[in-house]
Structure 1
């Protein structure tokens, strides 16, 4: 049967399985007779409906059944007896179809039969999937209530079949960078790079060590065998080569097999639905937070920034060009269109795509399409030009936490030029090589000039540092420009932090599990004013030149070091001590493996009361009300957050912290609610930014006593106070204990303050009438208890 199947593959033409109108393949009658197993049972009523649909589409039932049976037979019963040529032909004619929808994000619990075909080796994927481009993986997001939108990889067609032996050989090989190019070191070939320890000890006592990711010119030293076999990283369809190289150099095993698919430490993949984050283990870390599509989708980014613009003014949040989201803003767009002349250009974009797909510059109303959602944006026709050419800036932003908010801006980045000279004439609007700067578009232009020199100001792509040098030579105030860009980045992240925090609290088990690398695309106008074009939640790390490697190689290693990975919790205390001795860790580290208490979300009653009191003080809006008192009595949860914060600062090389800083407190008013840990870091920066040594000494004294590891246990009767998964330190009412029926034991002032806080939140979140229904005259405590349980 295999020979006949191969013969069928030779005689038939490829069929697009997505297009039902394509003429089905003609299969010899003998093959049809051999493929007689019936299709899966379908109810008669549904069968009739299918027949009607097929009749309308012009697809006969017989030919459709023949095609289904043939492809199923070939897919399910491929045998190694086929020769390599026949196997390739079968792959081309009948590509393996994953069990899940290609348009949906890769689930953590993806069936391993699919994962094996999706995450084998670099050669398994076309360039558009593995490296993408200097733009980003495409997102075809479909909103489903409050769920995260689904993502799809543009250009994905099929995966070529690779033998298990070949995949294993490729995965077992290492990678290195030479002369700015990433090259693969084949099995048996010697890696001459110097060794570097991959263990980094915390600056505080009684904290487990971190995994250190060495620079590209070095490789990690060998680890004990028991430890090395548990260093597992889950591959995905978009894990770029530069990430794989950093992982292999550190000693990670890139896994995809069924037995290991759920036992991994980290993954670099697509954004998932929020609910899928709840399937992560507390010890697993991925490169996304739930809900960051709030700033990654063009339509939601505009909605969030627009809210703050209305509240705080255009001077504060007017850095995004005027935008209309169709079809919702169709009337508003029509009014604005009538006020402008016909020679005013507009730019239209799909709300959730990248790499320049679907972007057009128009100036006539009939050029708008009402068939699908669109983002219509004011086109900035006064861009800053270099050599008469338009360009934009790609800046990389790392967020290690949303509560407290910690933002880092990478000092280097990419400057991407259009291929042809800029023109403001209406007749040039249809030429994407003039008006669009996306690399995936301009690389196809004959006038695109490749640049391999990271320090040169030439070609169609520069490094960001080269641009700053160029602007300084032109007399521009680069420091002022950088300050505006930092302001733009912080306000953009703040615009979506409320939703992200709610989804994090609902779906994450610990504070260890997430970090996020964002790509900000910024345009400069003739006055060197930065304009935000979009935010990419999956910026491409594809390195097609030495210039790319110069920027993205150090970037990904510093991202991993700032994200702070721990060794897996797989060993008993005796084994951990043995490994510490082998690796030469002499400092008192407590546990060698990850200690879950460091990232616990459980709060004691004393911690809850302090959070409640500080946030009540913050209601006044006066910073001095809580600035001094919040650091007076540091609780275990405070020490843990401060220790994490200070440990991150030791890994800053090319990243610069832009939030929190001693001056960043002015951004707190833009947040949806005051968040306790944001106030804590603000007070810490205010007090110890000029005397960091004193603050570090104070924290280490607490860590020596083990206070940071004091986490209350959850009792079976529920008596111990816990932070529920859906609660957050920004809403102190959730931490207020319900009043007992005999309220005489509680001071009247405390009751008054807490009831006032509950009433304020009820008025802003529910309604005054709802509060009154549950708070009849003379029984305020009843309404208070109701709201505490809400």
Structure 2
């Protein structure tokens, strides 16, 4: 009797299988979150959750019994091996999860959607198997901390001006004038991502900022904590005395060696002329997936959303966060916030609106500018990020348009919110996360040469990626362009996934026949 044809591992039953590289077996995952990503992972065919904070005691006991018959995983003696050549590893820490009685070793999972705190505590003491994938690069904060992001962009801009001239350096004119208060001496005092520095003194750009402030009287500035999100700790000011209390409370020499280091802030020139729709300010959330920094490989998601303020824009009330901050975490606390209507537009809807009002060519240049922001910002940290083939990053870029339709980079999030504010928001994030897994392709269903996977388009692969002929699926982007970027364009991701999986399977059969 002939043996039945075998199908890919994610379709196989969960019988007795050995640990190790993914073959014809289930894909084991762990997840630190309890929001949309956990829904995506649990619904994915052939994926099995292993013990962790989101697994019940009964499930853990069942998995422990199954694990006894499948061999041991990576021994603890393998921990501590440096995977990526980090010259400044963080101190080794034991995992802080105490909610499970069943402890899994590093080899018991294939995919881990971890939080940043867990990564910082465990990465340098882990040994990762060839096939394992984990969220976040070791020093992801080089791009996502507001102060480091600007520092790296400034450095690359200076390098570009020195090597290619001022004209090319002007392509970096997409982030506001920014100063750091206070500025740590990283090398001397062991600065780390969690803002801990043992002793020492600090220098600051405060005096440089004061000179700029006096040179431009009357403009508005905005203060932001370098490492916080969701609008926490942000305030606007027009006068230096408005930050006196902050300066006295935070920016002081460390006379007490046991005193905690003052929190780092950035002060930026506030964009006073934002583009308004219905009299309201908004910014655009853009999803970017980086699967490698060396070589740089970048995917841009077609979907996203514009986040609107709940109140009409005015410079008369700079203390009103409902007017000036578009963060959903802020807006949903407004007294007249309507959770059914929310404060979001789909990026496709936003692009169509702008095209109808300003024309397709103008809009094409706007979105081309967003592409430039993404690529330039990633290039600014390409040689700094500790590249590891096991790691990936899904960034949430926040882009603001001014009244002249110029895009500005506001910030980059390493952990963009995955909690949905409504059904449409849930569907969007569910699709984004599913397609992250599709691009990573642990099931080995793709050829590896795809330029589009679901809603993600490959925009950089160690160089710009050109669109294929006939792939212009953005009806409002009829202008001749070769860029494989379709932010805000039509996306029938389910049909596209069926097509590429079928094509890839046929190609693999042909190659093996």
- Pick from 393, 402, 410: which aligns with 2:293? 402
SS in 1 for 2:267: strand
Asked whether 1:245 is paired with 2:40, we answer yes
1:704 to partner: Cα distance: 7.0
Q: Give the Cα separation in 1 of the matches to 2:331 and 2:238.
A: 22
1:299 to partner: Cα distance: 0.4
SS in 2 for 1:383: coil
Q: How does 1:420-439 map to 2 (within 5 A)?
A: 420-425=311-316, 428-439=317-328
Deviations 1:103-153 (A, max 9, x none): xxxxxxxxxxxxxxxxxxxxxxxxxxxxxxxxxxxxxxxxxxxxxxxxxxx
Deviations 1:162-218 (A, max 9, x none): xxxxxxxxxxxxxxxxxxxxxxxxxxxxxxxxxxxxx998xxxxxxx575xxxxxxx
Which residue is 2:233 aligned to? Answer: 358
Q: Give the conservation status (yes or no) of the 8 Å contact 1:451–1:462.
A: no
Q: Give the Cα separation in 1 of the matches to 2:357 and 2:125.
A: 52
Larger Rg: 1
1:664 to partner: Cα distance: 6.2
1:350 to partner: Cα distance: 0.4
SS in 1 for 2:384: helix
SS in 1 for 2:453: coil
Which residue is 1:225 aligned to? Answer: 15
Q: Give the conservation status (yes or no) of the 8 Å contact 2:40–2:433.
A: no
Q: Give the conservation status (yes or no) of the 8 Å contact 1:325–1:374.
A: yes
Q: Give the Cα separation in 2 of the matches to 1:662 and 1:264.
A: 33
Which residue is 2:368 aligned to? Answer: 483
- Name the structure with the higher helix share: 1
- Pick from 519, 522, 529: which aligns with 2:399? 522
Which residue is 2:113 aligned to? Answer: 268
Q: How does 1:8-19 map to 2 (within 5 A)?
A: none
Alignment RMSD (CA, Å):
3.1
Q: Give the Cα separation in 2 of the matches to 1:659 and 1:395.
A: 16
Which residue is 2:57 aligned to? Answer: none
The answer for unaligned runs of 5 or more in structure 1 is 1-198, 202-208, 212-220, 453-458, 568-588, 590-643, 666-695, 706-790
Deviations 1:718-754 (A, max 9, x none): xxxxxxxxxxxxxxxxxxxxxxxxxxxxxxxxxxxxx
Deviations 1:459-480 (A, max 9, x none): 5211111111111121242221
1:269 to partner: Cα distance: 1.7
Asked whether 1:324 is paired with 2:179, we answer yes
1:356 to partner: Cα distance: 0.5
SS in 2 for 1:380: coil
Which residue is 1:726 aligned to? Answer: none
Q: Give the Cα separation in 2 of the matches to 1:274 and 1:526.
A: 44
SS in 1 for 2:411: strand
SS in 2 for 1:515: strand
Q: Give the conservation status (yes or no) of the 8 Å contact 1:210–1:564.
A: no
Asked whether 1:449 is paired with 2:338, we answer yes
Which residue is 2:72 aligned to? Answer: none
In structure 2, relative to structure 1, the CA distance for the partners of 1:433 and 1:350 (3 Å cut) is same
- Pick from 214, 222, 225: which aligns with 1:347? 222
1:366 to partner: Cα distance: 2.1
Asked whether 1:655 is paired with 2:456, we answer yes
Structure with more contact order per residue of length (Cα contacts < 8 Å, sep ≥ 6): 2
SS in 1 for 2:289: strand
Q: Give the conservation status (yes or no) of the 8 Å contact 1:267–1:286.
A: yes
Q: Give the Cα separation in 2 of the matches to 1:518 and 1:397.
A: 5
Deviations 1:387-433 (A, max 9, x none): 000000000000111111110110110111111000022xx010000
1:648 to partner: Cα distance: 5.4
Q: Give the Cα separation in 1 of the matches to 2:159 and 2:208.
A: 19
In structure 2, relative to structure 1, the CA distance for the partners of 1:560 and 1:449 (3 Å cut) is same
Which residue is 1:416 aligned to? Answer: 307
TM-score by length of 1: 0.43
Asked whether 1:335 is paired with 2:335, we answer no
253-262 vs 485-494, which moves further: 253-262
Q: How does 1:697-716 map to 2 (within 5 A)?
A: none
Deviations 1:628-679 (A, max 9, x none): xxxxxxxxxxxxxxxx9x51517612111110387569xxxxxxxxxxxxxx
Which residue is 2:417 aligned to? Answer: 540
In structure 2, relative to structure 1, the CA distance for the partners of 1:444 and 1:200 (3 Å cut) is farther
Which residue is 1:163 aligned to? Answer: none
In structure 2, relative to structure 1, the CA distance for the partners of 1:226 and 1:248 (3 Å cut) is farther
- Pick from 282, 285, 307: which aligns with 2:133? 285
Q: Give the Cα separation in 1 of the matches to 2:378 and 2:227.
A: 18
Asked whether 1:382 is paired with 2:278, we answer no
Q: Give the Cα separation in 2 of the matches to 1:532 and 1:662.
A: 22
The answer for unaligned runs of 5 or more in structure 2 is 18-23, 53-59, 61-101, 161-165, 183-203, 251-261, 467-503
- Pick from 412, 429, 436: which aligns with 1:552? 429
Q: Give the conservation status (yes or no) of the 8 Å contact 1:451–1:547.
A: no
1:260 to partner: Cα distance: 3.2
Q: How does 1:621-700 map to 2 (within 5 A)?
A: 647=448, 649=450, 652-660=453-461, 663=464
Which residue is 1:30 aligned to? Answer: none
1:243 to partner: Cα distance: 3.3
Runs (4+) of structure 1 exceeding 4 A deviation are 227-230, 661-665
Deviations 1:39-98 (A, max 9, x none): xxxxxxxxxxxxxxxxxxxxxxxxxxxxxxxxxxxxxxxxxxxxxxxxxxxxxxxxxxxx
SS in 2 for 1:309: helix
Q: Give the Cα separation in 1 of the matches to 2:146 and 2:371.
A: 20
532-541 vs 238-247, which moves further: 238-247
SS in 1 for 2:300: strand
Deviations 1:1-28 (A, max 9, x none): xxxxxxxxxxxxxxxxxxxxxxxxxxxx
SS in 2 for 1:539: coil
Deviations 1:433-455 (A, max 9, x none): 00110000000112323456xxx
Q: Give the Cα separation in 1 of the matches to 2:443 and 2:417.
A: 26
Q: Give the Cα separation in 2 of the matches to 1:309 and 1:268.
A: 33
In structure 2, relative to structure 1, the CA distance for the partners of 1:344 and 1:200 (3 Å cut) is farther
In structure 2, relative to structure 1, the CA distance for the partners of 1:423 and 1:530 (3 Å cut) is same
- Pick from 147, 155, 163: which aligns with 1:299? 147
- Name the structure with the higher strand share: 2
TM-score by length of 2: 0.65
